[in-house]
């Protein structure tokens, strides 16, 4: 740990986050955050990209799952070795220095978390409005669910953890029903593995975009690391939560996508914003479809809760470090970062006004995977620079697994920046600009903090 890191850690002991979260809550947070909007809504983007054909889409779900598992296996070593509140931001600060650590937290605070929360909430709003039969409710429901969940997350980590556990259990109901009755009621006559793509579409040209779309459905696994400071035994429980949760998620994703295709062909799934609801309606009829949609909304609610449980801890840590205004680093009477939570909820609601699910989700993926790669590289760097660091967990098959994770991450980032078309390139460059805006903010706050120290020294 850097000297400044030790200093900050001591300063943050005045009022500590409570260690209330165990392995079950951490694992349910991983599953709850990963299985949310993506599995229910992203098949539409997947099969639209493939031209309404299933082959490459199914392959991409498997490839993305393998990428995510290698990423989880790799990042878990860092998470367990540096079990402090702040997650990836803290890992990168310890490995590469304070400035890059701040940029990580800044990107997560103003780009990744708000864009992700907004994207998921947009689908919540759209599906709620359809369920209620009133399109005018889309924006009120979208913004309303963000502010409601934000408010609930100011009532204490036990409350947030309870919501996460309950919603995780509830979300398994529509998943199980679709998987079981999909195979029972579906014709099974639809193609699943061929053709790879539709006419006029090159598999190599769309695979990168497919992975970006699907990785959104898998994302959320690393964010449980931000809860390390509130976990009873992070060194032991954190790797279990990440690896166990991801293995379960991958199995569920592959099976439910097979169930979708068992009921409806890929060309039909490409037409619906919520393919899961369309499949449920086909299986159970209009009323049954609406009941399943309600279950999906509960799942999405839990996903929003997971991000608003973990995301504000980044802002809180930056406030504690005084690299963002100090009021963001304060805890309320329930010992949770209420100010940071409501700031993130407000920013998410602002993003959500765009109403663009796929745009917001793709933007968040480009931003976060750029820093995931730095984390993966950091595992190798730490093995060399910190050989004596206590590691409760070590990535298996080192260095093969980290190298696979690095290669997969670089492919996603470079493809999105250079080869995914002008729209995606501009969007990605915009994400880079927003991230780099953090540099002058960091420099300003450092100068401000130094000036205050000088004044106190003179006094």
Average pLDDT over residues 263-270: 94
Q: How far apart are CA 158 and CA 20, in angstroms?
A: 7
Q: Say which residues have a Cβ less than 8 Å from residue 275's Cβ, sequence separation at least 6.
A: 40, 41, 43, 44, 260, 264, 269
pTM of the model: 0.84
Please give the radius of gyration of the chain, using alpha carbons only, rounded to the nearest integer. Answer: 22
Q: Is 361 strand, coil or helix?
A: helix
Q: How far apart are CA 61 and CA 56, in angstroms?
A: 9
> Bigger pLDDT: 172 or 278?
278
Tokens of 372: 């995931």
Smallest CA-to-CA distance from 160 within 259, 106, 100, 226 is with 226
pLDDT in tens, 325-370: 989 999 988 888 999 999 999 999 999 998 888 888 888 999 999 9
User: Helix %, strand %, coil % for the chain, to 5?
Assistant: 80, 0, 20
What are the C-alpha distances in Å from 123 to residues 50, 116, 144, 225?
22, 11, 13, 26
pLDDT in tens, 224-260: 665 666 777 777 777 777 778 888 888 889 999 999 9
Q: How far apart are CA 40 and CA 428, in angstroms?
A: 25
Q: How far apart are CA 160 and CA 312, in angstroms?
A: 13
Lowest mean pLDDT among 95-104, 183-192, 233-242: 233-242
324 and 445 in contact (C-beta within 8 Å)?
Answer: yes
Q: How far apart are CA 254 and CA 39, in angstroms?
A: 10
15 and 331 in contact (C-beta within 8 Å)?
Answer: yes
Domain range annotation of the chain: 26-451
Q: How far apart are CA 174 and CA 127, in angstroms?
A: 15
Tokens of 133: 């039969």
Q: How far apart are CA 80 and CA 239, in angstroms?
A: 7
Tokens of 165: 């556990």
Query: Which residues lie across from 231 on neighbouring strands?
Result: 21
> Bigger pLDDT: 185 or 14?
185
Q: How far apart are CA 323 and CA 300, in angstroms?
A: 32
If one looks up domain 26-451 in CATH, what number appears?
1.20.1740.10
């Amino acid at each position: 740990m850097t000297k400044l890191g030790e200093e900050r850690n001591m300063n943050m002991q005045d009022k500590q986050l409570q260690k209330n979260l165990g392995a079950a809550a951490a694992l349910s947070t991983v599953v709850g955050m990963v299985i949310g909007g993506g599995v229910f809504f992203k098949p539409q983007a997947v099969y639209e990209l493939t031209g309404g054909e299933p082959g490459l889409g199914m392959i991409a779900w498997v490839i993305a799952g393998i990428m995510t598992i290698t990423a989880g296996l790799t990042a878990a070593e860092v998470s367990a070795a540096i079990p402090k509140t702040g997650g990836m931001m803290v890992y990168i600060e310890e490995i590469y220095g304070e400035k890059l650590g701040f940029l990580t937290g800044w990107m997560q605070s103003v780009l990744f978390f708000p864009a992700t929360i907004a994207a998921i909430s947009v689908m919540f709003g759209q599906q709620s409005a359809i369920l209620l039969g009133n399109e005018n409710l889309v924006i009120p429901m979208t913004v309303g669910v963000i502010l409601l969940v934000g408010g609930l997350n100011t009532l204490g980590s036990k409350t947030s953890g309870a919501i996460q556990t309950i919603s995780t259990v509830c979300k398994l109901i529509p998943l199980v029903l679709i998987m079981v009755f999909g195979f029972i009621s579906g014709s099974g006559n639809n193609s699943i593995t061929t053709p790879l793509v539709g006419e006029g579409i090159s598999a190599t040209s769309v695979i990168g975009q497919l992975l970006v779309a699907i990785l959104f459905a898998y994302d959320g696994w690393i964010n449980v690391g931000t809860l390390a400071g509130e976990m009873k035994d992070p060194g032991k429980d954190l790797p279990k939560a990440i690896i166990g949760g991801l293995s379960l998620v991958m199995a569920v994703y592959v099976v439910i996508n097979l169930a979708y295709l068992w009921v409806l062909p890929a060309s039909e799934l490409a037409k619906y914003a919520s393919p899961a609801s369309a499949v449920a309606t086909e299986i159970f009829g209009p009323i049954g479809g609406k009941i399943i949609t309600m279950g999906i909304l509960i799942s999405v609610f839990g996903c929003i809760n997971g991000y608003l449980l973990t995301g504000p801890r980044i802002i809180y840590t930056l406030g504690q470090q005084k690299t963002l205004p100090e009021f963001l680093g304060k805890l309320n009477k329930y010992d949770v970062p209420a100010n940071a939570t409501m700031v993130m909820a407000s920013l998410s609601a602002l993003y959500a006004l765009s109403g663009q699910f796929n745009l917001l989700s793709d933007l968040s993926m480009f931003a976060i995977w750029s820093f995931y790669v730095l984390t993966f590289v950091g595992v190798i760097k730490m093995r060399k620079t910190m050989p004596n660091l206590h590691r409760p967990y070590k990535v298996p098959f080192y260095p093969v697994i980290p190298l696979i994770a690095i290669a997969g991450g670089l492919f996603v980032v470079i493809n999105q920046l250079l080869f995914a078309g002008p729209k995606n390139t501009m969007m990605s460059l915009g994400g880079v600009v927003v991230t780099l805006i953090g540099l002058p903010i960091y420099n300003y706050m450092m100068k401000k903090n130094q000036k205050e120290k000088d004044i106190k020294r003179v006094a």
